[in-house]
Amino acid sequence: MTPDKSGDESGKFVWQGLDHIQLAIPPGSEDICRQFYGVILGWEELKKPTALAQNGGLWFQAAGIPLHLGVDKAFIPAQKAHPAFLISPVTVLAKRLELAGYPVKWDRNLPGYKRFYSEDAVGNRLEFMQQLG
């Protein structure tokens, strides 16, 4: 193990939690992403710090989970890697997404959960799950 250069002789640290999730979006897609995350999913849009706002993108939050949407000039939608969000009842969101024209693909392979996959306004894969029992 490489010695800790931080000045802490113990070399120990404590995980404190998750600060945010970041997904990439293409340049100029803020409005359609705002519609998807803010209106359809009902997430609260957060104001980006001034120093970061010039980079484009959006920040949202729901249930204390911050989601950052960062502009990537070489954007390719994430089709395997994805965040998974807990929601109840998951069927209500599935219906809302279907009515808005988004795909809903149910997956019954994880015991103890009712879940489905969808995609956001720019094609990033998302998972929505409800814990059963």
Q: Tokens for 93?
A: 């969101």
Instruction: Report the DSSP beta bridge partners of residue 67.
Output: 21, 60
Which 3 state secondary structure label does DSSP give 39? helix
pLDDT at position 6 = 61
Checking if the pLDDT of 5 tops 80, the result is no
Enumerate the domain spans of the chain.
21-131
Q: What span, in angstroms and rounded, lies between the C-alpha atoms of 79 and 48?
A: 26
What's the pLDDT tens digit per position in 99-116? 999 999 999 999 999 999
Mean pLDDT of 95-102: 98
Of the candidates 90, 91, 85, which has an alpha carbon nearest to the alpha carbon of residue 120? 85
Looking at domain 21-131, its CATH superfamily turns out to be 2,3-Dihydroxybiphenyl 1,2-Dioxygenase, domain 1 (3.10.180.10)
What's the pLDDT tens digit per position in 9-44? 788 999 999 999 999 999 999 999 999 999 999 999
- pTM of the complete model beyond 0.85: yes
